[in-house]
């Protein structure tokens, strides 16, 4: 058991992509994200919404051998909130022209919310939406994971990632979760619709990234994960900006990375002594 409350934060989402250049252009053009890749010779690309530089990143990792297979029953997707209906309609018109729409533009009965869904160049599902409470700046707002048992998954992310419940869904069986102490935090949405475990390629390096504020905290979680037998990728120490990390898998097989030393979140500026592994 981990008795001391640790400083944990959801700091990035990583996608394993086949076409890195096309992905970069897509998220810059459609979603207004900016390239925040720390090193010029870095193989992966980091993208952030404006105002979220150094806090949260969409990490595009090249090397996927084929396009992502997005089955029709799988609702896993990235969610971008857009500033206005006018801007949302402009994005939708471009998506229609490029024949990448998978769910047409629609508005709620009261007209307060509008959305549509499309696929990115690597086959990942992306939702663009706007509402009465949309921010002044469009941003990457959430990732929705398609899970087999919402309560089991919720308990997992509460225990391992330290996330809090923001709200439960009204129209569907879902829950929105955020890292604590951040009113504008990136949201992890768990949607209870999966009829069976979703298959993933063993070499798929896509993951949810959790940053720790110290190496000692990282080591404590690693020891706990070893005891639980859920370590997927063991302890790795790499040069910046990768830092020190390991990965486990959540109840649905999604990889979850725990790290220290990446230039994202609170762990980017915290120094600690090296624990013995």
pLDDT digits (tens, 9 = 90+) for 258-276: 999 999 874 454 333 344 4
Is 1 inside a domain boundary? Answer: no
Q: What is the mean pLDDT of the chain?
A: 87
In 3-state terms the chain splits into helix, strand, coil percentages (rounded to 5) of 20, 35, 45
Lowest mean pLDDT among 128-132, 179-183, 207-211: 179-183
Q: What is the CATH number of the domain that holds 42?
A: 3.10.180.10
Q: Residue 36: pLDDT above 70?
A: yes
pLDDT tens digits along 68-114: 887 766 778 999 999 999 999 999 999 999 999 999 999 999 989 99
Phi, psi of 260 (to 5 degrees): -140, 140
The radius of gyration computed from the CA coordinates of the chain, to the nearest angstrom, equals 18
Binned at pLDDT 50, 70 and 90, residue 201 comes out as low
Residue-number span of the structural domain to which 191 is assigned = 8-268
Q: Which two tokens stand for residue 129?
A: 């939406």
Is 3 inside a domain boundary? Answer: no
Is 273 inside a domain boundary? Answer: no
Look at strands 139-147 and 187-192 and give their pairing.
parallel
- What was the pLDDT predicted at 200? 57
Is 218 inside a domain boundary? Answer: yes
- What was the pLDDT predicted at 3? 45
Report the chain's terminal Cα–Cα distance, integer Å: 19
Is 2 inside a domain boundary? Answer: no
Q: Which residues pair with 85 in a beta bridge?
A: none
Q: Which two tokens stand for residue 71?
A: 């089955």
Is 274 inside a domain boundary? Answer: no
Percent of the chain whose predicted confidence (pLDDT) is above 70: 88
- What was the pLDDT predicted at 137? 81
The rounded distance, in Å, linking the Cα atoms of 216 and 138 is 36
Q: Which residues pair with 221 in a beta bridge?
A: none
Closest CA to 81 of 146, 23, 140, 19: 140
Q: Residue 135: pLDDT above 90?
A: no
Is 173 inside a domain boundary? Answer: yes
Is 177 inside a domain boundary? Answer: yes
Percent of the chain whose predicted confidence (pLDDT) is above 90: 69
User: For residue 161, what is the enclosing H or E element?
Assistant: helix 150-161
Q: Residue 142: pLDDT above 70?
A: yes
- The rounded Cα 276 to chain-centroid distance in angstroms is 30
Q: Which two tokens stand for residue 31?
A: 């979603």
- The rounded Cα 40 to chain-centroid distance in angstroms is 23
- What was the pLDDT predicted at 116? 97
**Averaged pLDDT for residues 60-66:** 92
Q: How many independent structural domains does the chain possess?
A: 1
Q: Which two tokens stand for residue 207?
A: 């993951």
**Averaged pLDDT for residues 186-190:** 94
């Amino acid at each position: 058991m981990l008795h001391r409350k640790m400083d944990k934060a959801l700091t990035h989402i990583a996608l394993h992509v086949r076409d890195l250049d096309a992905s970069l252009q897509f998220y810059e053009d459609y979603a207004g994200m900016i390239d925040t890749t720390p090193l010029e010779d870095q193989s992966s690309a980091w993208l952030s919404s404006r105002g979220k530089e150094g806090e949260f990143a969409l990490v595009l990792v090249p090397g996927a051998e084929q396009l992502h297979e997005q089955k029709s029953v799988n609702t896993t997707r990235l969610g971008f909130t857009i500033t206005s209906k006018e801007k949302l309609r402009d994005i939708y018109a471009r998506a229609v022209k490029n024949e990448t729409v998978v769910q047409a533009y629609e508005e709620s009965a009261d007209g307060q919310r509008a959305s549509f869904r499309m696929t990115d160049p690597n086959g990942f599902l992306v939702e663009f939406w706007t509402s009465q409470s949309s921010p002044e700046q469009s941003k990457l707002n959430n990732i929705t994971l398609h899970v087999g048992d919402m309560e089991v998954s919720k308990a997992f992310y509460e225990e391992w990632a330290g996330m809090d419940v923001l709200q439960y869904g009204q129209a569907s069986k879902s829950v929105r979760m955020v890292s604590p102490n951040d009113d504008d935090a990136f949201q992890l949405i768990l949607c209870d619709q999966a009829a069976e475990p979703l298959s993933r390629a063993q070499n798929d390096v896509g993951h949810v990234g959790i940053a720790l504020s110290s190496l000692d905290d990282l080591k404590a979680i690693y020891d706990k994960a070893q005891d639980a037998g859920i370590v997927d990728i063991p302890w790795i120490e790499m040069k910046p900006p990768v830092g020190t990390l390991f990965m486990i898998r959540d109840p649905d097989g999604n990889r979850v990375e725990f790290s220290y030393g990446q230039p994202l979140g609170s762990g980017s500026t915290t120094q600690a002594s090296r624990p013995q592994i």
